[in-house]
Amino acid sequence: MRPEIIINSLAFDAMITHCRDGLPMEACGYLGGKDGEVSHCFPLTNTDSASDHFTFDPKEQFATVKQARALGIDLLGVFHSHPETPARLSAEDIRLFNDPHMQYWIVSFSKPSPEVGAFMLKKTPDSVDITVVHIVIK
C-alpha cells in the first residue's frame, strides 16, 4: 500500500506560493509537522538563484531546525520547485538527497496548474529505492 502524508491547506498553499513567487528560479524550503502530518511551511532561500538548481543556505537551515524545535514540531520534508520539468525526482535530486528521514516534495510548473509530488528515498551504495507518497490535503 502506498504511504500517505497529510498536509494542511495553509502549509500546502504557502509552499505553492513560495515556489510560484520564485519563478523562473527554483524555490525551496522545509515542511514541518507532527506525527506524520505537515502543519508548517518554512520557505528558505535558494542560494544558487538558478532556474535548474537549488541549494539551501546552511544558516537558514540551522535557524529553521531551531524554530521547528521551539514550535514542538519535526521537520518532515524538503520541497523545491521544478519550473519547467515534471514533479519527479531528477538524477541530480537523487544524487544530492541524502537525509533518510526526509520526504522530498517537488512542485512542478511545467503545466498551467502546479503539480506536486512527494517521495521517499532509501539509498545504499548499490541502489536507490524510490517510493511515491500519496498527498492528502486537508
Partner 1 sequence: MNVTINGQIEQIPSGLTIVGLLAHKSVEMPDMVSVELNGEILDRPAFDTTLVSEGDSLEFLYFMGGGQ
Chain residues binding partner 1 by CB under 8 A are 26, 28, 48, 50, 52-56, 58-59, 61-62, 65-66, 69, 78, 80, 82-85, 90, 92-93, 96-100, 102, 104, 123
* Cβ-based neighbour number of residue 99 at 10 Å: 11
Lookup result for grid cell 502543519: 39
Q: How far is the CB of 46 from partner 1 (least distance, A)?
A: 9
| Closest distance of CB 61 from partner 1, Å | 5
Beta carbon of residue 138, minimum distance to partner 1 (angstroms, whole number): 27
Is 137 in contact with 15 (CB distance < 8 Å)? Answer: no
CB of 9 to partner 1, least distance (A): 25
Whole-angstrom Cα distance, residue 3 to residue 83? 26
Contact 68, 74 (CB under 8 A): yes
Dihedral over alpha carbons 87, 111, 80, 54 (to 10 degrees): 110
Determine contact, residues 8/138, Cβ cutoff 8 Å. Answer: yes
- Complex with partner 1: residue 4 or 99, whichever CB lies closer: 99
Residue number, 1 or 112, with CB nearest to partner 1: 112
Closest CA relative to residue 44, chosen from 29, 64, 27, 62: 29
Nearer to partner 1, 20 or 53 (CB): 53
Question: Which residue number, 1 or 91, has a Cβ lying nearer to partner 1?
Answer: 91
